[in-house]
Copies of this chain bind each other. A is one copy, B any other.
Amino acid sequence: MTTPPALRFDPIAEAHRQWEASGWGDCATGMTAVTSVMRVHQLFVGSADALLARFGVTFARYEVLMLLAFSRRGSLPLGKIGARLQVHAASVTNAINRLERDGLVTREPDPIDGRRTLAHLTTAGRQRAMRASRVLNEQLFSQLPLSERELGELVGLLRTVRREAGDFR
């Protein structure tokens, strides 16, 4: 990541001011909320991908590995992975291709339903996932500049947004 220099003001607070000056004051906080999520996402992905680079995985592929690691048999049908991560089937195919090429998962035919393909976590894949998790826990998840209570508030607010968007019920 080539990081541009920091600004001497908060660009989102500035945008809030401009929104109000444009007569959109009643939408200004919503706009800044959306923009804030966008920007923090960018920061989190940047940190995570930098930490995961040494393991040869992106955050997207790491999520697939963890899903398999927490599954009952260490394997899941590709469709299930897509539903859980809310990504397109083609994206799952791509991710599994790459993970398979790297020896972290294998493809197995589903004995129950021949249409399905199972992604199965290899021993190397499980090890990689665990080591990557340790680094993310130590360097990212436990280093956020928010208290446990604040983190809980953040998660709660975002859960409301997710639920309302139909993410789960």
Residues of chain A having any CB pair with chain B under 8 Å: 2-13, 15, 18, 22, 24, 26-27, 29-34, 36-45, 47-48, 59, 66, 70, 82-84, 86-89, 133, 136-137, 140-146, 148, 150-155, 157-169
Complex interface: chain B residues within 8 A of A148 (CB): 29
Chain A at the B interface: SS class? helix
A146 and B162 CA atoms in complex are apart in Å by 11
A106 and B101 CA atoms in complex are apart in Å by 44
Query: How many protomers of this protein does the assembly include?
Result: 2
A43 touches B144 (CB 8 A): no
Complex interface: chain B residues within 8 A of A164 (CB): 145
Q: Given A4-B86, A29-B148, are A155 and B10 also a contact pair (CB < 8 Å)?
A: no
B142 touches A33 (CB 8 A): no
